[in-house]
Amino acid sequence: MFELVKIRDTVRVPPERFDEPKQEVILDILRENYEGLTDNDLGVILSITEVEDIGTGRVVMGEAASFHNVVFSALTYRPILHEITPGEVVEIVDFGAFVRLGAMDGLAHVSQITDDYINFDSKKSALVGKETNRKLKEGDKVRARVVSISMAKGERGKIGLTMRQPGLGKFEWIEEERKEGEAEESG
């Protein structure tokens, strides 16, 4: 889930930047220190959007810098367990499909793509169902559910996905199943 959050922190401004506009300097430092950072509570910090408040600078003995308490807004992405999300297949490997969920990639293991037995076709870079002949390849749009999240501070994090439940999978498969269900109801 994408979220706009407020964060309070103290920013160290080095003396070589004292003659620059304080707002710009602090925004630069925040972007350098925070953007791309992974946090267990916040998720991935994508962008610092605004510096809302800058406190009066303090000088600490033995430190050649000023320290400012700041409040700023950041755009974050945090996957939520059991969340259903659209995505795009960005890579097919023999053990599954990597799906871009916006700001992060998740992995749908071959055992979590469909109930059918899956073969890896290395020539076509696709995963193919043995009985259904359904193909999953790069660029395919899918709907998946987040089944596991592993995020350590400073690392990108890992997201496990499933597409084996009704209403999940490649969009074309979902539409086929919907039409089959309608035909059964009317027939």
| pLDDT tens column, 116-167 | 999 999 899 999 999 999 999 999 999 999 999 887 665 667 899 999 998 9
Q: Return the percentage of the chain with pLDDT > 90, whole number.
A: 71
| pLDDT tens column, 7-25 | 999 999 999 999 999 999 9
Cβ atoms within 10 Å, residue 117:
12
| pLDDT tens column, 101-125 | 878 899 999 999 999 999 999 899 9
CATH code assigned to 84-186:
2.40.50.140
CA 26 to CA 151: how far, in whole Å?
27
Residue in 97, 72, 81 with CA at minimum distance from that of residue 10:
72
Question: Is 72's pLDDT higher than 80?
Answer: yes
- Report CA dihedral (92, 96, 101, 104) to the nearest 10 degrees: -90
**Residue 157 burial (C-beta neighbours within 10 Å; 0-12, 13-18, 19+):** buried
| pLDDT tens column, 38-70 | 877 888 899 999 999 999 989 888 888 999 999
Question: Is 73's pLDDT higher than 90?
Answer: yes
**Residue 39 burial (C-beta neighbours within 10 Å; 0-12, 13-18, 19+):** middle
Residue in 33, 4, 38, 76 with CA at minimum distance from that of residue 158:
38
Give the global pTM.
0.75
The ranges assigned to domains in the chain are: 2-77, 84-186
- Report CA dihedral (109, 113, 115, 118) to the nearest 10 degrees: -70
Structure tokens at 48: 């610092």
- In this structure, CATH architecture of domain 2-77: 2-Layer Sandwich (3.30)
Position 152 scores a pLDDT of: 66
Cβ atoms within 10 Å, residue 177:
14
Structure tokens at 114: 């469909």
Residue type, 32: E
Position 62 scores a pLDDT of: 84
Q: Compute φ and ψ for 66, nearest 5 degrees.
A: -115, 150
